[in-house]
Structure 1
Amino acid sequence: MTQSSILRLDGELRDIAEKLDRILSDQDSISANIECDPKLQFLDVPSANETSTDIQALRAQETLLSDQLVVCRELSVVSDLLEEAKMNLQLCELENCFYSLQNIRRKLTVIDFKILPMRFEQDLKLHLDEMHAHLVSRCDDIMHGFWKIDDCGITFVESTIVGTDRVEFNYSYFRQFLKTCFFPNGSFEPTIWFVSSLSMSDTKEAITTGLSTLFTQYIELEVVQEKLKSLLFSENVFLELKSESTLEVTTKKCSLDEILCKYTALVLFLLRAVTSDDQNTILSRLGNTIAVEVLKFFKQNSTVLLSPGSKQKEQLIRLNDDLKLLSDSTKGVWVYNGTELDALLNDDSVINNLKLDKLLQSQIVKIREVFRTSSWSKTFVIKLPTQETPSVNNDVPASNTDDNSEDEWDWGNEVDIPDTHDDEEKDGWGDEIDFSEDTKQEPIGTRKPDVSHKMVSENDEWQTNWDETEPIGKEDSNVRKLTGLPALCLEILENFETGCDEIGREKIQMTLDYKRNLLLTSFMAMCVCKCKDWWQLHHDIEYVVTKFPDQRKIFRLIELDSHFVQTHVDNMKKTILALIQQQFRNFQTNEKTPNWGITVESLLPYLENVAFPAIIKLKDLRVLSSFVEYVYADCFVAQLMSWRMISEKNSENLEEMIKLLLASTNHPALQTDERCKQSREKLAVIGDVLTAHLTDIMDMFSSGDFYLFSTDEIVQWIILLFADTGLRRECLDEIRTIRQEQQEDE
C-alpha cells in the first residue's frame, strides 16, 4: 500500500469518528430512532416477584452447596485421621492411635450428618467402635507380655517385644500411658469418652469389661496380690527367686529353713523385680500381712530358730533388713521399722515370753480338742476326802437382790420368766387341787386352790420328785458325781507348770501368773459353753480345788466358779421375785377373783422343777439356807410388808399362797439346816396370822409363837391387818411392854 492510500484511509477514519461522535452525543435522538424502528422486537420482561423467587432459590442452592462443601472438607479430615489411626495401630503406636481416635470423635460432634446418606453415619461409627476394641485388645496383649502368672510362679519383665515388626515396649512408660489415657482419676470410670462415645451396645459392654480387667489386673495388680497372698499362706509351697525376675513355685513339704527362704524370696522379688509404683500398690495392701506372717513364723518356732548353733538368726536379721529397705522404697506408703522383730531377736525376755505363749496356746488347743467330742461328759461317782476342804462358795460375794444388778462376768444373765395370763386354760394342775362348791363354775384361772391333804400326801407327784432328789445329809455330803473335766483341768495345769519349769520360772515370773490365769479363764469359758448343768460344772471345779496342791495358783478358777454359781443363783432369785410380784399385783387388782394360774402354773413348777432341784444338787447347805430365806423372807414377806394394808379377802388369798408355797418346798434337805427350819416356821406363823382375829394373835403371842419375830415385825403385821381401833392400840401397847420387860430381864 502506497503512502497516499494510507493518508486517504486515515482521513476517512477521522471522518467516520467525527460522525459517530456527533450521533452518539445525541442520546435522545438515538432512543427515538430505535423505538421507531419497525424491525425491533422486545422480549417478555419478567415481573419483579419472579425475579425475587429465582434469586432466593439460587441463594438456597448456594447455601446447600456451601454446607456440603464444609461437610466434605470435615470428612476429608476425618478420613485422614482414620488412616492415621489405622497406621498407628499397625505400627503399635498405641498412644498416638488413642489421640487420633479422640480427635475423630471430636470432629464427628461438629459434622451435620443430615445432609449425608442415612447409613453413612452408622457405618462410620461402627468402624470407629471396632477400632476402639482393637486398641483395648492390643493393650491387653502387651500387658500380658510384662506379667506371666501361672502355677509355676510369677514372672515380671521391664520390657517386652510385640508383633512381627518386633516393637519394644517399656513397662513403666506403657503403664503410665494406660493410667493417663484410660484411668485419669485413678480408677476405671465407664463415663470416660472412650466408652461413652461408643454406639453398639455389645461392643460397649466388651470394651467396658476389657478396660475394667486392665485396671484390676495391671493397674491395681489384684491378680498379682492374690497370687502372692496364696503363696504366703500356703504351707506346702517353696519359693525361689530366679534371674531376679521370676518367683518360682515348687510344691513340697517345707522345713523351717525352706519356709524362711520362702519369705526371703518373696521379699527380694518385691524389692528387686517389680517397679517402685508396683511396690507401692502391692505393699499398701499386702505389706502388713507379710510382716505379720514373718513375726508369726518366728514366734511359733523361736525355740528352734534361736537354738545354739543355728544359722537362721542371721537369715532373720537379713530378712528384717530387706523388709526395712522395702518400706523405705515406698516413701511412706507402707511403714515398717522392724523394731518388734529386732527386739525378738535380741531380747532374751521376749524369747522366754514367746515360749510361754506357745505353751499357753498348746494347752488351749488341747482343751478345744477334748471338747470336739462328747466323751468328756461321761460321769462317774467319787467320794471327796473326809477332811474339811475349802468351799468354793465361801468366796461368793453377798447376793445382790436388786432387779437392776448387773452380772459382772456376763454369764447367763438371761432370765426366762414364764408368761402368765388372766385367762388360763385347765391343765394337769387341776387334778391336784380341790375347789369349793361355790366356785366350780368360775374359770380355772380365778379359782382359789384348796391346800388339802392331796398337796402334801405321800402319793403326790411333786413330793415323789422331791424324794427322788438326793438329800444333803452327813452320810453323803462328800459323794460327788464328776465328768472328765477335772482330769482335763488337772492335766493342763500340770503340763503348764512343767513347761514353766523347763523355760525357767525366774525368767518368766513377771507374766507367769497372768498367763496361768488366762489359761484358767479360757478353760472356764469353754466349760461354761459346753456344760448343760451348771451345778455339775461347780462339782467338777470343786474337785479340782481339792486336788490341786497350791490353791493360790488356781485362785482365778475359784473366783470364776464363784461368780458362775452366784450368777445362776441370782437369776433364779430374779425369776421367783418377778413371779411373786406378779401374783401380788393380781391380788391387789382382783382380790375377789384372782388369777391363781400365776402361782399354780408358773411359780410352783419353777420352784419344784428348776430352782430347788438345782440348789439341792449343788450340795451346799449355806447356799440352800440362803436361797430358802430369800424366797420366804425377801420375795414374799418383804413384799407384803411394803403394802399399806391387807384386806380380809387378800388375807385369805395370801394364806392359801403360803400353804401352797410351803407344801411345794417341803423337802427333807430343808429339815437338816436350822436356818431353813426357822424360815419355814416363821412363814407358817405368818400364814396363821393373816386370817386370825386380834385376840387369837394375842393368844399366839402369849404362847410364844412369835419367838422368831422382832417387836417391830409383830407391830407392823397387826397394823397391816387391823384398823386403828382402841383394841388394836391396847394390843400394841401390851406387846411393846411385854417385850421391853423381857429385854430388861435378860
Structure 2
Amino acid sequence: MSIAEKLALNDVALRESIQSFHSMCETVDATEVYNDSNFHQNVAHSTDLQNLTLYQLNAKLEEAETASKYLNSLWLIRALIQEINSLFDPVGEGSQYTCDKNELLAVYENLKKLNGKIDEIGGENLSINFALKTCYNELVDRLMEKLVEMFSRFFPSPHDDLHHTIVFKVHVNEISMSLKEFQSFFAEVENHFSRSDISDLLKNLRSVWDKKILDMLIKRQGFISVIEEGSAVTLELTKPGSLRRSLTNLYFKSLRHFISFVNLLDNRAFKNYYSTKISNDMVQAVSENIRLFMNNKEQLREELVETLQLLASSGWSVPIRNTFSSLDKIDQGLQNIYNSWVVDKYINEAREVFNADDFESHFKNLKDASYETKREESSKGEEQWDDWGSDSESETESNHDDWGSGERSSEVEKSEKNGNNTDGDDEEDAWDDWDDGWDDETDERANKTEKKSFTSKTTTSGPETNLSSPTIKYTSIPFKLSVVIAKFMKESNNGDPQDILDAIASLALLSYPKLTCSFLLFNDLKRIKTSSTYLSDFADQEWNHTRQNVFDDVTHVLGTIDYGNEDLDDEHDSFEVKSKLDQYRKIINDLFLQDLESTNSEMFKIFITELINFTNNLILENILSNKEISEAQSEKYTNVLQGLQSIAEEVLQRTKQDFTELASYNKSKQAIILLNNHLKEIMDYFYQGELYDFTTEELIHVIKSVFVPSDLRENCIGDIIEIRNS
C-alpha cells in the first residue's frame, strides 16, 4: 500500500473518531461520567498516597484541580453547543425552521461565548481542541445559512426581469425585524466572523439591478414605476413598445423611482455604484434633448429640479450636481451640459475618422495639389464644399428630437452617407475638388517660407528651377475632419472648437506617418478648414521640431571634428574628415529614401537648402570662434568646406537647384580664400569687391587668427576698416 493510500485511510479514521467524539459530547450525561469506573481511581493505588511527600501530594492536588477545571470547561462548552442547536430548531422542524430576530441574536451571542471558552482551554488536548473548533465552525456556517434565508425574505427572488421587490419589514414567529435592523445585524456578524456571505449576495443584487433595471432605462427600453403593498415595495419595469417619445416625460419620474428604491437599502456602496452612471445618463439625456428643455421650460425643468433635489436630500454624490451650482442658474447649467456634450460628440466623430477600418487606405489614394491652381477653380471648389457642408449639416437638426441611441447613431450614419456620397465615383469627385480653393493659401504660405529660408540672395533662376510645378500630396482625411468641424460650429452656434482641434492634432500625430518619413501630416493639417490657425500652427511646430532633430544629428556629426590636435598626421586628419563627411552624406541620402520629396517637393527643397546652409554656417562659426588658426587647421577647414560644397552640388542637382544660389555658398568660398592665400592676394580680392559676405569684424578676426602680427597685417586691417567705413 502506498503512502498516499495509508494517509487517506488514516484521514478517514481520524474524521470518524472526531465525529464519534462530537456525538458523544452531545449525548453524554454528567452522571454517566461520574459512575464510569474508568474515571474512578484504583483504591489499591490510593493507598500509595500515604507514602508520598508533602510536595508530591501538592502536585497531585494541583493536577486534580486542573483536570476538574478542564472538565468543567468542557461541560460549559457542551451546554453552549446544545443551547445553540436548540435555538436553530427549538420545535424539531429541522432545516425547515426559520429563526426569528431574537433567536438569531441569541445564537450570535452564544457563538461569541463558545469561541471564548474554546480559546480558554487552549491546546491542552489537541484532538479535543480540533474537534471543538470544527464544531464551532459548523455552527457559524449554520448561522450564516439562517441569515441567507432571512435575506431571501427581505429580497425575494423575482419571478421575471420586470419585477424586483424589497420588503422593509419581515415578521417571523410574530416578531418583526426591519430591513435596517437586518443590515446592521449581518454587518456586525460578518465583521466578527470575517465572512461575506450576505455582502456577496448584495453585490450580486446590485449587479442585477444595474443590468435588468438601470440599463433598460438608460437604453430607453423601459420606464419604471413603483408598487407598494403593505411592507413590500416592488419596482416594475414597463417596456414602451412603439411609444418611444413618451419616455421624455417619464424619464425623470422613472429615475426618481429607481433612486427611491435604492434609498430603501440606505447603503452607501449601492449609491456610489450607481451615481456616476446615473449622472452621465442625465447629462446625456439633457444634452440630447436640450431643445425640448427650452421649449417645455416649466414641465421638464421641474422634473430635473425635483430629481436633483431627491439626489441631494438622500445623500447621493453625483457629478451632475456640480454642473448646477444652484437651481436658480439652471439655464446656465443646461447650456454648459449641452456645450460639453456637443464637444464630446464631435470629438468622437473625429476619432471615428481615425479609427475607421479604411483609414490606412487614405495614404495610398492621394491627390496632387499644384501651386498654379486657377482662381476660378479655387472659387468653384470652395462653393462646392460649402454646398456639401450645408447639406450634411442639416441632418444634425433631428438629433435632438428623439430618444434612444438607435436614432442617434442612425442620424450620424445618415449625415456621413450624405457627406461622403453613396456613389463611389461621386465621393471621389467630391474630395478631389473640395479644397482646390485653398491652393492659393498654400501657395502664399510656401512663398513666404521660401522668401525666409530658401535664399537670401536675389538671383536669376536657372532654366530648370521653375519649369516643373511643385508637388503636394494630401488625403481625403482633411475633408472628413473639416465636415466634423463645420457640423460642430453649426450645432454649437459657433462655439469654441479648441477641444476638438486638440483631439484632431493628437490623433493625427499618433495615426499619420512620422514627419521624418512623409509630409502627409503637415499637408493634411494645413488643409483642414477651420477659422482657427491652431492646426496650421501645430503642423509648423511639429515640422520645426523634426527639422531641429535633423540639424542636431548633423551638429553631432560635424561639430565633433577635432581641428585643434596637431600631433596627428595628415593621414589621420584626412580619414577623420572623410568619415564625418560620409556620415553627413548618409543623413541627407536617408531623407531622399523617404516619401518627403514625393509628398511635398517644395517643402523638401526648402528643407534640404536650409540643412546645407545650416551645415556650412556650422563650420563657418567654428572658424570665426577660433582665435588662432594654424596652417594644418587651415588645411583641415578647407577640406571640410570643399567636401561640403561637393555634397551640396551633388544633392541640389537631385532637387534641380543651383548650389551657387545658396545663401552660404559665397561665404564658404570666401572662407577658403581667407584660409589659403597670402595677405597680398587676400587684399587683391578685397579691393576687387570680394569678401563682402564677411562683416568687417569677421574679416578682421579671421585675418588676425590666420596671420601672425606684422606691419603688413596691421596695414591691411587699417585699409579694410577705412574702406568699409567710407
What is the SS of the residue equivalent to 1:182? helix
Report the equivalent of 1:420: none
The Cα shift of 1:325 comes to 2.0
The verdict on how the C-alpha distance between 1:690 and 1:111 changes in structure 2, with shifts beyond 3 A counting, is: same
Alignment of 1:175-194 (within 5 A): 175-183=183-191, 194=193
1:643 alignment partner AA: N
Aligned residues: 573
Pick the aligned partner of 1:647 from 591, 609, 630.
630
Paired residues of 2:470 and 2:601 also in contact (CA < 8 A): no
The Cα shift of 1:294 comes to 0.7
- Cα deviations across residues 157-191 of structure 1 (Å, max 9, x unaligned)? 224467xx7976432222212223432xxxxxxxx
CA distance in 2 between counterparts of 1:110 and 1:486 reads 81
The Cα shift of 1:615 comes to 8.1
Report the equivalent of 1:451: none
The verdict on how the C-alpha distance between 1:334 and 1:481 changes in structure 2, with shifts beyond 3 A counting, is: closer
Matched, 1:98 2:108: yes
2:685 alignment partner AA: M
Report the equivalent of 2:553: 575
The Cα shift of 1:535 comes to 3.0
What is the SS of the residue equivalent to 1:282? helix
- Cα deviations across residues 11-54 of structure 1 (Å, max 9, x unaligned)? xxxxxxxxxxxxxxxxxxxxxxxxxxxxxxxxxxxxxx996737
Pick the aligned partner of 1:728 from 713, 718, 722.
713
Report the equivalent of 1:375: 361
Runs of 5+ consecutive residues of structure 2 not aligned to the other structure = 1-47, 91-98, 376-439, 454-461
The Cα shift of 1:703 comes to 4.1
1:700 alignment partner AA: Y
Runs of 5+ consecutive residues of structure 1 not aligned to the other structure = 1-48, 184-191, 195-207, 401-469
- Cα deviations across residues 677-713 of structure 1 (Å, max 9, x unaligned)? 4421221232343233444433433444323333222
Report the equivalent of 1:84: 83
The Cα shift of 1:346 comes to 7.6
1:96 alignment partner AA: A
Matched, 1:301 2:292: no
What is the SS of the residue equivalent to 2:368? strand
Alignment of 1:159-238 (within 5 A): 159-160=169-170, 169-183=177-191, 194=193, 211-218=195-202, 221=203, 223-224=205-206, 227-228=209-210, 232=214, 235=219, 237-238=221-222
The verdict on how the C-alpha distance between 1:97 and 1:300 changes in structure 2, with shifts beyond 3 A counting, is: same
The Cα shift of 1:55 comes to 6.8
Report the equivalent of 1:443: none
Identity %, equivalent residues: 15
What is the SS of the residue equivalent to 1:475? coil
Pick the aligned partner of 1:480 from 472, 475, 479.
472
Matched, 1:561 2:543: no
Paired residues of 2:368 and 2:471 also in contact (CA < 8 A): yes
CA distance in 2 between counterparts of 1:485 and 1:588 reads 58
The Cα shift of 1:631 comes to 1.1
The Cα shift of 1:721 comes to 1.9
Give the superposed CA RMSD. 4.6
Report the equivalent of 1:606: 587
Alignment of 1:248-287 (within 5 A): 248=236, 255=244, 257-258=246-247, 261=250, 264-272=253-261, 274-275=263-264, 277-278=266-267, 280-287=268-275
CA distance in 2 between counterparts of 1:570 and 1:612 reads 19
CA distance in 1 between counterparts of 2:604 and 2:272 reads 64
TM-score w.r.t. structure 2 length? 0.66
1:180 alignment partner AA: E
What is the SS of the residue equivalent to 1:156? strand
What is the SS of the residue equivalent to 1:180? helix
The Cα shift of 1:99 comes to 1.3
CA distance in 1 between counterparts of 2:120 and 2:700 reads 107
Paired residues of 1:238 and 1:262 also in contact (CA < 8 A): no
Report the equivalent of 2:693: 708
TM-score w.r.t. structure 1 length? 0.64
The Cα shift of 1:670 comes to 8.3
- Cα deviations across residues 337-360 of structure 1 (Å, max 9, x unaligned)? 772695556888658746864774
Larger Rg: 1
CA distance in 1 between counterparts of 2:482 and 2:464 reads 27
What is the SS of the residue equivalent to 1:473? coil
CA distance in 2 between counterparts of 1:471 and 1:574 reads 34
- Cα deviations across residues 546-583 of structure 1 (Å, max 9, x unaligned)? xx7xx8x2433443333343333333333323332123
Matched, 1:697 2:682: yes
The Cα shift of 1:145 comes to 3.2
The verdict on how the C-alpha distance between 1:397 and 1:295 changes in structure 2, with shifts beyond 3 A counting, is: farther
2:150 alignment partner AA: I
1:271 alignment partner AA: S
The Cα shift of 1:231 comes to 5.2
The verdict on how the C-alpha distance between 1:90 and 1:351 changes in structure 2, with shifts beyond 3 A counting, is: closer
Alignment of 1:459-474 (within 5 A): 473-474=465-466
The Cα shift of 1:249 comes to 5.4
The Cα shift of 1:84 comes to 1.5
Paired residues of 2:169 and 2:178 also in contact (CA < 8 A): yes
Paired residues of 1:485 and 1:540 also in contact (CA < 8 A): yes
1:298 alignment partner AA: V
Report the equivalent of 2:350: 364
CA distance in 2 between counterparts of 1:176 and 1:397 reads 79
CA distance in 2 between counterparts of 1:691 and 1:357 reads 67
The Cα shift of 1:257 comes to 4.3
